[in-house]
């Protein structure tokens, strides 16, 4: 399976946003074509947290019973949430970092 790297932040410019959504939809379509149908994916959770500090690892407990393959995040400040120790993610927890301290984050986890 091939993954495309999308921009870390959603564009604010309407033209760029339309392109971004189109590229995101194409990635979901590819996942379905590669034997990973989204409608079969029933392991999803939505969580809210506050990051502990800039570039400090935090543990997100998801308890999905499967190792996450993707997450979507929204933050209340100019910040980026990124993977930490992805090879250590488990069926119950994942490790992330945020570029800014004390950011409120909503995270949708898919496994």
The yes-or-no verdict on residue 48 having pLDDT over 90 is no
pTM of the complete model: 0.63
DSSP state of 3: -
Helices (H), the chain: 14-33
Residues 6+ positions from 53 with CB-CB distance below 8 Å: 101, 102
CA distance 78 to 52: 15
pLDDT tier, 43 (very low <50, low <70, confident <90, very high otherwise): low
pLDDT for residue 1 is more than 50: no
The beta strands (E) that lie in the chain are given as 44-50, 58-61, 70-75, 81-83, 93-98, 104-110
Chain center to CA of 31: 15
- Give the residue extent of every domain in the chain: 1-40, 42-110
- What is the chain's mean pLDDT, rounded? 78
Instruction: Pick from 3-17, 24-38, 48-62 the range whose average pLDDT is largest.
Output: 48-62
Reported as a single tens digit per residue, the pLDDT across 31-42 is: 655 555 554 555
Greater confidence (36 vs 3) lies with 36
Q: Which pLDDT tens digit goes with each residue over 60-95?
A: 998 888 888 888 888 888 989 999 999 999 999 999
**Residue 94: how many CB atoms within 10 A of its CB?**
24
The tokens for 5 are 């790297």
Which CATH number is 42-110 given? 2.60.40.3940
- Exposure string over 9-22, b if 16+ CB within 10 A, otherwise e: eeeeeeeeeeebee
């Amino acid at each position: 399976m091939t993954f495309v790297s999308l921009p870390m932040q959603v564009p604010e410019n309407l033209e760029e946003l339309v392109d971004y959504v189109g590229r995101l939809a194409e990635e979901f379509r590819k996942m379905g074509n590669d034997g990973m149908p989204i409608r079969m994916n029933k392991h999803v959770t939505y969580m809210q947290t506050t990051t502990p500090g800039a570039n400090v690892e935090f543990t997100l407990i998801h308890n999905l019973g499967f190792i996450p393959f993707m997450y979507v995040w929204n933050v209340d400040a100019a910040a980026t949430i990124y993977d930490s120790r992805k090879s250590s993610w488990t069926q119950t927890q994942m490790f992330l970092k945020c570029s800014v301290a004390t950011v409120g984050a909503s995270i949708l986890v898919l496994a």
